[in-house]
């Protein structure tokens, strides 16, 4: 029970942390037990009655306080996520607005038509980036919402789902002439919360597409083994520089060689959040210039 | 002689817009896209002014500022902090304590106004 550290994380004094209150509550119940036992022992000659009464009382109190503890903990976490989410949003909305403002200034003071066209393209890109930001923050918000609610699971036919997502990237796939190979058994289904699982797959597939080279390849492999689901996606893209590898799951981090591609650095952060929610593990192997392989596993019970 | 400005900023678009404007105004602008690159260039190029973004990947702006001020060859260079939003108030205060000359919140200025401000620091 490290509520001192925990309390710091939530910016509250340690004595208002649910864990602390729960422990304190336990001690008070214990103390009450002794007192009640002593009183009842004097009133009833049979030793069973005081013992059983104390036992029942303790159980009821403990269950009650545990329920309260859970409600408080959940609220605390939800609150923290909300604050964090807002700070992300404030931070990320300012950047494109300023860039837009400044580029517009340059656009108007530029005389050369060709240069003007370049600024116009930049302006379009900024707007595109803002739309992405909006889309990703909405997704992140949704993931947090799903997280605090009940994760309703359903049976998902994996191969069909992956093909469906790939189909959404059809234009890019054709433009880059990417070769796709799927190693997913036709009958493989997984019992998982569809909404967030889909986002997870979509983000990983999107990365394999947009960071791939022309004429590149994407291999997707999935299997199920001992109540665990394994997924692997390998691309022949630009790879992640070794210096950047330890940062890639951080929000807003973008690898050095990824900055040419529009994006804001929330995709993998969202993946990590989803994997954590589903109590799984995610990892990757990558070589700059050669490609990246992401793999994750999820428990299926 | 034209003044040298080292601009440490990882954001390609900020580099492009502000960099371009400053060059058009006759400054010699050296771009650095990461903290380490910025520190190397500060020692090598001896700029008249450093524009430093606070939020950088890997090495933060504060860490860079600290190193600049601890190194004898760079501690005399004026450092102006650039930041995205005013909510960074804690970090801004910390950077002023560490010896930054001033701070500018990007979103509060047009390009024109920002360049005017930067010129004032170079006087």
Within 10 angstroms of residue B6's Cβ, the number of other Cβ atoms is 27
Q: Which helix (H) or strand (E) holds A64?
A: helix A48-109
Using the structure block, give the residue that is written with the tokens 């890019």. Answer: A172
The minimal CB distance from A94 to the residues B12, B18, B84 is found for B84
> Which chain B residues are within 8 Å of A91, Cβ to Cβ?
84-85, 87
Nearest alpha carbon to residue B114 among B26, B4, B19: B19
Touching check for B117 and chain A: CB below 8 Å?
no
Give the chain B residue nearest A260 (alpha carbons): B12
The minimal CB distance from A95 to the residues B16, B34, B84 is found for B84
The minimal CB distance from A106 to the residues B20, B33, B106 is found for B20
Given this model, what pLDDT does residue A83 score?
79
pLDDT under 70: residue ranges of chain A: 1-2
pLDDT in tens, B7-50: 999 888 889 899 999 999 999 999 999 899 999 999 999 999 99
> Which chain B residues are within 8 Å of A247, Cβ to Cβ?
57-58
Instruction: Write the Ramachandran bin of B34: left for phi over 0, alpha for psi from -120 to 50, otherwise beta.
Output: beta
Strands B78-83 and B28-32: unpaired
Chain mean pLDDT for chain B: 89
Q: For residue B109, give every residue at least 6 positions away whose Cβ sits within 8 Å of its Cβ, in sequence order, or none.
A: B117
CA distance B51 to B28: 13
pLDDT in tens, A188-230: 999 999 989 999 999 999 999 999 999 999 999 999 998 899 9
CA distance A53 to A68: 23
A259 to B57: CB separation less than 8 angstroms, yes or no: no
Given this model, what pLDDT does residue B87 score?
59
Touching check for B17 and chain A: CB below 8 Å?
yes
The minimal CB distance from B85 to the residues A91, A103, A256 is found for A91
Give the ipTM of the model, two decimals please.
0.83
Please give the C-alpha separations between residue B88 and each of A87, A220, A264, B84, in angstroms, as whole numbers: 10, 42, 19, 8
Given this model, what pLDDT does residue A34 score?
87
CA distance A244 to A204: 18
CA distance A268 to A253: 9
Touching check for B90 and chain A: CB below 8 Å?
no
Given this model, what pLDDT does residue B38 score?
93
CA atoms within 13 A on the CB side of A294: 24
Mutation pick from A98, A99, A111, A115 vs chain B, by most beta carbons of B within 10 Å, is A98
Interfacial residues of A (vs B; Cβ cutoff 8 Å): 87, 90-91, 94-95, 97-99, 101-103, 105-106, 122, 126, 243-244, 247, 253-254, 256, 259
How many Å lie between the alpha carbon of B76 and the closest alpha carbon of chain A? 30
Given this model, what pLDDT does residue A57 score?
87
Given this model, what pLDDT does residue A1 score?
54
Using the structure block, give the residue that is written with the tokens 């804001």. Answer: A264
The SS3 of residue A231 is: strand
Nearest alpha carbon to residue A201 among A162, A172, A170, A171: A162
Start-end of H helices in A149-266 = 158-168, 170-176, 194-210
Mutation pick from A85, A97, A99 vs chain B, by most beta carbons of B within 10 Å, is A99
pLDDT tier for residue B86 given thresholds of 50, 70 and 90: low
Contact A278, A298 (CB under 8 A): yes
CA distance B12 to A262: 11
């Amino acid at each position: 029970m490290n509520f001192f550290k925990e309390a710091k994380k939530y910016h509250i004094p340690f004595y208002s942390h649910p864990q602390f209150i729960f422990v304190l509550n336990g001690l008070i119940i214990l103390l009450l037990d002794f007192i009640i036992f002593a009183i009842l022992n004097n009133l009833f000659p049979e030793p069973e009655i005081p013992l059983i009464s104390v036992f029942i009382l303790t159980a009821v109190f403990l269950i009650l306080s545990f329920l309260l503890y859970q409600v408080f903990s959940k609220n605390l976490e939800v609150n923290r996520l909300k604050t964090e989410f807002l700070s992300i949003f404030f931070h990320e909305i300012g950047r494109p607005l300023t860039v837009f403002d400044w580029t517009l200034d340059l656009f108007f003071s530029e005389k050369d038509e060709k240069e003007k066209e370049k600024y116009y393209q930049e302006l379009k890109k900024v707007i595109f980036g803002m739309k992405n930001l909006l889309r990703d923050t909405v997704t992140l918000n949704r993931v947090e919402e799903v997280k605090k609610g009940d994760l309703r699971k359903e049976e998902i036919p994996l191969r069909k789902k992956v093909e469906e997502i790939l189909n959404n990237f059809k234009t890019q796939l054709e433009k880059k002439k990417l070769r796709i190979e799927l190693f997913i058994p036709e009958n493989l289904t997984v019992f998982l919360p569809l909404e967030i699982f889909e986002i997870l797959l979509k983000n990983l597939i999107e990365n394999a597409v947009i960071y791939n080279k022309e004429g590149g390849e994407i291999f997707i492999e999935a299997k199920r083994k001992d109540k665990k689901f394994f997924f692997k996606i390998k691309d022949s893209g630009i790879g992640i520089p070794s210096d950047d590898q330890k940062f890639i799951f951080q929000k807003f981090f973008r690898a050095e060689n990824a900055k040419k591609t529009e994006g804001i650095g929330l995709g993998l952060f969202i993946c990590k959040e989803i994997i954590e929610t589903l109590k799984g593990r995610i990892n990757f192997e990558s070589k700059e210039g050669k490609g990246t392989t992401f793999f994750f596993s999820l428990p299926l019970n | 002689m034209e003044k040298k400005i080292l601009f440490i900023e990882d954001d390609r678009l900020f580099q492009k817009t502000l960099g371009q404007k400053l060059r058009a105004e006759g400054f010699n602008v050296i771009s650095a896209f990461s903290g380490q690159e910025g520190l190397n260039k500060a020692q090598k190029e001896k700029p008249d002014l450093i524009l430093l973004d606070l939020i950088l990947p890997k090495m933060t702006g504060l860490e860079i500022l600290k190193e600049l001020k601890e190194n004898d060859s760079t501690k005399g260079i004026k450092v102006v902090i650039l930041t995205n939003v005013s909510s960074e108030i804690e970090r801004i205060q910390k950077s002023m304590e560490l010896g930054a000359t001033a701070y500018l919140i990007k979103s509060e200025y047009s390009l024109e106004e920002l360049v005017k401000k930067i010129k004032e620091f170079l006087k």
